[in-house]
Structure 1
Amino acid sequence: MKTHRIAIFQCHPDPSEERLCDALGERYARAARGARHEVRVIRTADLDFDCIRTQQEFEESALPPSLAESQEVIRWCDHLVIIFPLWLGDLPGHTKCFWEQIMRPGFALGKQEEGFPQRLLKGKSARLITTMGMPALAYRLAFGAFGVRAFDRSVLRLSGISPVRHSFAGQVHGENRDLGALFSKIDRLARRAG
């Protein structure tokens, strides 16, 4: 089996390590290392950065020093695993701010060629793992998974990351949640770096 360099981005904005997203990231890392993949983990809640507020800031300001390692890890990896909760049908604001800071011109996108920017992150794949309180099927069917699909297409695929696969973990709150099945799925995904 081919081994991969996997970057896990645990993107729950709450710095408490008692979040399901942390447990999923730890489980994925352990299973991937057990399958002999190289793994690096970034917890975005531990990083200090501000939101970008202007186009000029996005295009010209320096990357916050706390995010330099995140860009280096993305350059290093061939597979990204991005774990986040669904908030109001989308990524949390803190998570969006993180990816806006990271995916700047010159890192994710290059100069325009025939109307489209160069995709500087070609050759990498990604897995999005999204936790939510509602049933995952409802998010897919009733809401079209719009927020997650927008991040997939407008950020990851636009920069050249492909394929991007999705795993939705619904109804993660309360007594009815089946964490055993969820952790087993994470183990399977991690072993094959999918």
Structure 2
Amino acid sequence: MTRILVINGHPDSGRHFLHVAADAYAAGAATSGHEVRRLDVAALEFPLIRSEQQYHDNALPEDIAKAQQDILWAEHLLILFPLWLGDAPAYFKAFLEQVARPEFAFVPKEHGFPQGRLAGRSARLVVSMGTPTPIYSYYYGGHGVKSFKRNILEFVGIHPVRYAIIGSVGGPARHREKWLARLRHWGEQAA
């Protein structure tokens, strides 16, 4: 059995498709006996980091310290966020800046590439948007998702990282239901 942390990066605490998607994945994981914890970024309290000094300060907000412990506990991460202006929402990125501090997520090096400290974990990234997936992926190049995968998750040592882009979330209900079934299946497989 796998220890799974479901991180819902939607900054709005209301019910959106990603909240239901996180529920579907967690339900699938639970039916297969996986241990699941949830982290909803919208429910967390933390300040923005506004300087390099704040970034290197070891005094963490309570919610961020708890999030770090949950990440260390997990063997697999499901990370969900909506695509806003081609990237992750600002509040979710602020959360990541708080969590991915030096010495927790990576070891800085004076010369050379920093060493990721979260190796041994896998992740699935699920990104939703109103735009149809082919337009985002092929016309715009899917840069926001690719950057998140490479520059955040793989940078800190998480591998493999799989991702799914769910476009047209405002479309027909059958489209969303198909995705929810897929998420339940991935939860069952801890994939």
* 1:180 equivalent in structure 2: 177
Relative distance call for 1:113 and 1:34 in structure 2 (3 A) is farther
Aligned to 2:25: 28
Q: Which moved more, 1:171-180 or 1:25-34?
A: 171-180
Structure 1 residue 121 and structure 2 residue 114: aligned? Answer: no
Residue type at the aligned position of 1:103: A
Q: Secondary structure at the match of 2:148?
A: helix
Cα distance change on mapping 1:87 and 1:130 into 2, 3 Å: same
The 3-state SS of whatever aligns with 2:114 is: strand
Q: Secondary structure at the match of 1:90?
A: coil
Aligned to 2:47: 50
User: Quick check: 45-54 or 176-185, which moved more?
Assistant: 176-185
Q: 2:26 touches 2:184 (CA, 8 Å); kept in 1?
A: no
* Partner amino acid, structure 1, of 2:131: M
Q: Which residue of 2 aligns with 1:10?
A: 8
Map residues 58-137 of structure 1 onto 2, 5 A cutoff: 58-112=55-109, 115-137=112-134
Which 5+ residue runs of structure 1 have no aligned equivalent?
Answer: none
After TM superposition, give the deviation of residue 177 of structure 1 in Å: 5.8
Consecutive unaligned residues of structure 2, counting only runs of 5 or more, are: none
Post-superposition offset of 1:25: 0.6
TM-score between the two structures when normalised by the length of structure 1: 0.94
Aligned length: 191
* Match of residue 148 from structure 1: 145
Q: Which residue of 1 aligns with 2:154?
A: 157
Aligned Cα RMSD in Å?
1.4
Q: Which amino acid letter does the alignment assign opposite residue 139 of structure 1? A: Y
Q: What is the identity percentage for the equivalent residue pairs of Structure 1 and Structure 2?
A: 39
Q: Deviations over 1:16-39 (max 9, x none)?
A: 1x1111101111101001011110
User: In structure 1, how many angstroms separate the alpha carbons of the residues matched to 2:172 and 2:180?
Assistant: 16
Mapped partners of 2:110, 2:189: distance in 1:
35
Question: Structure 1 residues 62, 187: CA separation in 2 closer, same or farther (over 3 Å shift)?
Answer: same
